[in-house]
Structure 1
Amino acid sequence: MKTVVKRGSWVRGAVAAAGVAALAVAVTACSPKPTTVAGSPIAVTTTISGQQAGDGGGSTDFRAEVGDCVTLGGTMSAAEIDGAACGSMDSNYKVIAKASANTQCPSDADQVYYETLGSREQGALCLDIDWIVGGCMSVPAGDDEPRRVDCTDPTAPSVERVVRIIENSADIEQCTEGGFAHPERRFTVCTESVTG
C-alpha cells in the first residue's frame, strides 16, 4: 500500500520592539526586480539565492522538478498534491529540492511531501512557501496549509504580506515587523501581519 505524507515546519519570528525604529530607517530593498503574474499587480520573486538545494534522488508518483510550484493539501497522512503555476492563486509551495528520504531535505524547508510503499520511503519533494513580494498568504497555525489570498480578504486568517526577501541572512531582526528565517540556506522572508 502506497502512502503519501507531509510534514511542515514554518514558524514566524517577530522583531524585538527596541530595534524597529532604527531598523526602519536602514531598510533597503534587496529582492530582484519584480515582474507581474498574468496581469495581476502582484510582484513575483522568481529566484532567491541559496533557496534551491537541488536533486538528491528519490522518486514520487507526482512528477515535479526543482523550481516547479504545487498545490499541497489533504492531511498529514493522506496528502494531496497537484501542479500549479508559480505565483498563481492555486500555488502554495515551490519545490526547492528532491531527496530519496524526507530527512535529507534542508532542515529549514517549510514543508516536505513524501511517499512510502509499505514502510519504505520512495522519495521526497522539499518545499518552501511560494512567497511573492507584495503578495499575501494566509499562514494559519496547526496542520492547515498556507494559501494565497487577496490582501484585503477579511475572512482569511493569519494573513502575512511579503515586504522583502533578504538573501545571505537568517536574521529576523533585519525585518521591520517579523518574518520567516531559513538559517540553513541563509535567507529571510520579511512579512507584515495584515490580519491576526
Structure 2
Amino acid sequence: MDFSQIPGQFPPQALNVPGESIAPVGACVSFEGPSTNTTLKVVDCGSPNNGYTVIQRVSTPDQCPADVAQKFYMNPDEGQFTACLDYAWSSADCLSIGKVSAVRAKCDDVTRPNREKPVNVILNTSTNADCPTGGFPHAVRKFTVCTETQ
C-alpha cells in the first residue's frame, strides 16, 4: 500500500506563504537538534530520521488542519510560516512515535518504543472504529491510517 498518496491528505496550499525552500509541501522531514532549539530538516523519504511529511504550509499554527500530527512554526529570513506535518507512514517499516517526535524504526527493533506499523487506510471516516487493532484518525480530512502496535 502506498501511504504517500492518501486522498485528501494534502489540503490546498495557501498562496504567498513563505518557506518553500525550507519546508516544501510533500517533503519528508525530521526534527533535528535539542528540544529547546529544534529545527526542521528535509531528509530522504524513508531515511532513519524521516518521521514526518509536510502536508501544508500556513501563516500561523492555528491554520493547520486540527488533525495533523505536528505543527512547526518557523521565522526564517524569508518570512514566518508554520509547517503542518503528518506522520510519514511507509509499508516498508514502522514509526517509533514519541510525545514530540517520530522516527523510522524496523518493526522488530525492541529498542525503539511505541512502534506502529501502518496496515491500511480507510477513507471517508473520522474515527478508527473500523481498524481491528487501532489507528490514527484524521477527522477533519476524513481518513484513518490503521496501525498495529508492535
Same-fold call, TM cutoff 0.5: yes
Deviation at 1:76, TM superposition (A): 5.5
- Pick one of 99, 110, 117 that aligns with 1:161: 117
> What is residue 86 of structure 2 aligned with on the other side?
128
Residue 188 in structure 1 maps to residue 138 in structure 2: no
> What is residue 39 of structure 1 aligned with on the other side?
none
The root-mean-square deviation of aligned C-alpha atoms, in Å, is: 2.1
Structure scoring higher RCO (CA < 8 A, sep ≥ 6) equals: 1
Q: By percentage of residues, which structure has more helix?
A: 1
For the 8 Å contact 1:134–1:163, the answer to whether it is kept is: no
Distance 1:61 1:171, change over 3 A: closer
Deviation at 1:94, TM superposition (A): 0.4
The separation in 2 between residues aligned to 1:74 and 1:111, in whole angstroms, is 17
Q: TM-score, normalised by structure 2?
A: 0.87
How many residues matched? 147
**Unpaired runs of at least 5, structure 1:** 1-33, 35-43
Deviation at 1:61, TM superposition (A): 8.3
**For residue 52 of structure 1, what is the amino acid of its counterpart?**
F
Deviation at 1:46, TM superposition (A): 2.4
User: What does the per-residue CA deviation read over 1:116-136, in whole Å, with 9 as the maximum and x for residues that have no partner?
Assistant: 47xxx8111111010113521
Deviates most, 127-136 or 179-188: 127-136
For the 8 Å contact 1:54–1:98, the answer to whether it is kept is: no
> What is residue 24 of structure 2 aligned with on the other side?
65
| Identical-pair percentage | 34
> What is residue 22 of structure 1 aligned with on the other side?
none
